C-alpha cells in the first residue's frame, strides 16, 4: 500500500513523501527543501531511500544534496537532466520502470515546461506525480520546450485511467481558476470545482490531488476541443494544438 504525505514548502510548492507500507521504503518527489522532509521522516519514523526528480529547476531539487548527505538516498532524474542535477545516482528515460518496495512506477517523458521533464506513474496506486507539466486547472509554462511538445506530453497524461489522482508540484489552482473561467465561463463543472477549491484553501487544505476525469471536465488546457472555448477565442474549427497554443499564450499575460 502506498501512503502519500504532502509537505507544503516555500510559497506554493508541494513535496510528496511516498511510503510503501509493506517494504517500508520511502521516496521524496521534488524536494525543494531538505529540513521539512527530514522533520516529516522523523515524525513518521521513516527512512528516505529515493528522491524522484521531475526536472532540474531549483525549486524542485533544492533539498537534494542535503537529503542525500543525511540519508544516503539515491537520486533519480531524467537522463537529459543528469548533468544539470547534482548527485544523480540513476538516470532514467521514457518507459523505464522504478520500484518502491513492491510498487512499480513508470517513467513518462513529458517535455514542454523543460526539455528533460519526466513524470512518475504508479498504476497500482492510481496516481501520477506530474511536477510542472500539469497543474490543477492549468499547465506549466514553456521555459525550454514548445507548445506542440507540451500538448503531446499532456496527451500521455489524459490517456491514463480517469480515476488516476494527479499530484502536481504547486498550489496554483485558484489563480488558474480565474483564467479558466475567463475562457469557459459557462462550464458548470468548472464553476462547481472553483467553489470546492475556494473552500479547500479557506480551510488551509491543498487542492491537490484531482483526478484525470476532474481535470478533463474543467481544465481549459485539456479542453481545446470545447466549442465554448473555441468560440471565446474566435478559433472555431481550428486544431486542438492551435487552440492549446493560443491558450498557453494568453495565460502567459493573464492578470
d(CA 12, CA 27): 20
**Is position 56 annotated as part of the catalytic site?**
no
User: Is 57 annotated in the active site?
Assistant: yes
**CA separation for the pair 99, 105 (Å, rounded):** 6
Q: What backbone phi and psi angles, to 5 degrees, belong to 135?
A: -110, 165
Give the integer Cα–Cα distance in Å for 201 and 136.
Answer: 13
From 19, 49, 55, 117, the catalytic residue? 55
Q: Are 186 and 226 in contact (CB under 8 A)?
A: no
Q: Which of 19, 56, 57, 117 is catalytic?
A: 57
Please give the backbone phi and psi of residue 105, each rounded to the nearest 5 degrees, phi first: -120, 125
Q: Look up 170 and say whether it is catalytic.
A: yes
- Strands 97-100 and 103-109 come out as antiparallel
Q: Give me the catalytic one of 30, 60, 81, 117.
A: 60
226 near 184, Cβ under 8 Å?
yes
Whether 113 is catalytic is yes
Catalytic option among 19, 56, 117, 170: 170
Cβ contacts of 71 within 8 Å, gap of 6 or more: 41, 47, 48, 49
Question: Rounded to 5 degrees, what are φ and ψ at 195?
Answer: -60, -45
Query: Catalytic annotation on 117?
Result: no
Non-local (6+) Cβ contacts of 141 within 8 A are 113, 132, 248, 252
Q: Which helix (H) or strand (E) holds 252?
A: helix 240-252
Name the active-site residue from 30, 49, 81, 132: 132
Active site residues: 55, 57, 59-60, 113, 132, 170
Amino acid at each position: 500500500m502506498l501512503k502519500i504525505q504532502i509537505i507544503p514548502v516555500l510559497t506554493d510548492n508541494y513535496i510528496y513523501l511516498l511510503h510503501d507500507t509493506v517494504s517500508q521504503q520511502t521516496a521524496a518527489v521534488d524536494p525543494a527543501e531538505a529540513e521539512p522532509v527530514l522533520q516529516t521522516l522523523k515524525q513518521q519514523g521513516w527512512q528516505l531511500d529515493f528522491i524522484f526528480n521531475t526536472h532540474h529547476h531549483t525549486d524542485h531539487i533544492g533539498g537534494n544534496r542535503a537529503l542525500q548527505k543525511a540519508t544516503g538516498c539515491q537520486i533519480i532524474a531524467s537522463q537529459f537532466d543528469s548533468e544539470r542535477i547534482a548527485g544523480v545516482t540513476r538516470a532514467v528515460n521514457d518507459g523505464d520502470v522504478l520500484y518502491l518496495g513492491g510498487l512499480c512506477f513508470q517513467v513518462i517523458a513529458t517535455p514542454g515546461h523543460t526539455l528533460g521533464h519526466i513524470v512518475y506513474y504508479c498504476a497500482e496506486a492510481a496516481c501520477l506525480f506530474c511536477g510542472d507539466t500539469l497543474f490543477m486547472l492549468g499547465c506549466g509554462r514553456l521555459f525550454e520546450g514548445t507548445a506542440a511538445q507540451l500538448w503531446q506530453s499532456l496527451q500521455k497524461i489524459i490517456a491514463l485511467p480517469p480515476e488516476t489522482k494527479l499530484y502536481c508540484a504547486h498550489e496554483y489552482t485558484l489563480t488558474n481558476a480565474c483564467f479558466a473561467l475567463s475562457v469557459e465561463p459557462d462550464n458548470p463543472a468548472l464553476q462547481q470545482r472553483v467553489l470546492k477549491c475556494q473552500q479547500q484553501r479557506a480551510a488551509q487544505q491543498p487542492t491537490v490531488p484531482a483526478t484525470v476525469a476532474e481535470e478533463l471536465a474543467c481544465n481549459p488546457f485539456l479542453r481545446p476541443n470545447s466549442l465554448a472555448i473555441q468560440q471565446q477565442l474566435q478559433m472555431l474549427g481550428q486544431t486542438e494544438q492551435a487552440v492549446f497554443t493560443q491558450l498557453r499564450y494568453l495565460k502567459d499575460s493573464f492578470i
